[in-house]
Amino acid sequence: MLGNTVRHAIDHVEVFAAPENISTVTFTNDELTSMCPITEQPDLSTVVIDYVPGEWCVESKSLKLYLWGFRKRAVFAEALAAEIAGEIMLTAKPERVTVTLTQRPRGGIEVKAVSELTG
- Among candidate residues 11, 36, 50, 57, the one labeled active-site is 36
- Three-class DSSP labels, the chain: CCCCCCCCCCCCCCEEECCCCCCCEEEEEEEEEEECCCCCCEEEEEEEEEEECCCEEECHHHHHHHHHCCCCCECCHHHHHHHHHHHHHHHHCCCEEEEEEEEEEECCEEEEEEEEEEC
Residue 11 falls in the annotated catalytic set: no
Residue 30 falls in the annotated catalytic set: no
- Among candidate residues 11, 30, 43, 57, the one labeled active-site is 43
Q: Which residues are catalytic?
A: 36, 43
